[in-house]
Amino acid sequence: MRFFVDTADVSELDKLLVTGMVDGVTTNPSLIAKSGRNILEVTKEIASMVDGPVSAEVTATDYDTMIQEGKKLAAIAENIAVKVPLTVDGLRTCKTLSDDGTMVNVTLCFSAAQALLAAKAGATFISPFVGRLDDMGMDGMELIESMRDVYDAYPTLKTEILVASIRNTRHVERAAEVGADVGTLPPRVIWDMYQHPLTAKGLDDFLADWGKTGQSIL
């Protein structure tokens, strides 16, 4: 499973890039607003920092304007994936842009039926929001399982499942277990994945024993 970072903060991204764990980046209007930067400028900078896909989201809701915004965002760099909402006009936009060879990430997916529509519209990625389903008392990961079953039943559908609204490491583990293609993770969740109390304790024990030997490898 590939890891995308869900951020528009280039300083956070820079810290993660050195780990070798970053396969792409996703942004959205809320993250752009949080960054305090111009969307075109920060998206261009992020796209220059990573080789993988960088999702940049349109803010229009009608087809004609989404097409204009999508083309402008796609022109920023070759690795831009234009993000569109899962609406009638959003999927029309997806079909037009994908037919022109532009990567498209369809966002705000909450059902397997929606995911099927996005795949038929030629989406490169589909972004189901598992955390928001959890907030409603549902099990968001059941949606990922259902989407995986649907896509696997039709090998001609090439859309990749990009799990979004990930809140914790267990979300990542379950997404991997059911075969999600990508997870887009807040930086905090990626750092949390490194942590386990037994890892820390084991390292402390080894170092304590090593110190008793009085040796040095260097």
Residues involved in catalysis: 83
Which residue, 81, 88, 89, 94, is CA-closest to 164? Answer: 81
Amino acid in the structure at residue 106: V
Matching residue, tokens 């050195």: 18
DSSP conformation class of 178: T
Distance CA 126, CA 202 (A): 40
Distances (CA, A) of 103 to 78, 96, 98, 214: 9, 11, 6, 57
With contact defined as beta carbons under 8 Å apart, do 91 and 118 qualify? yes
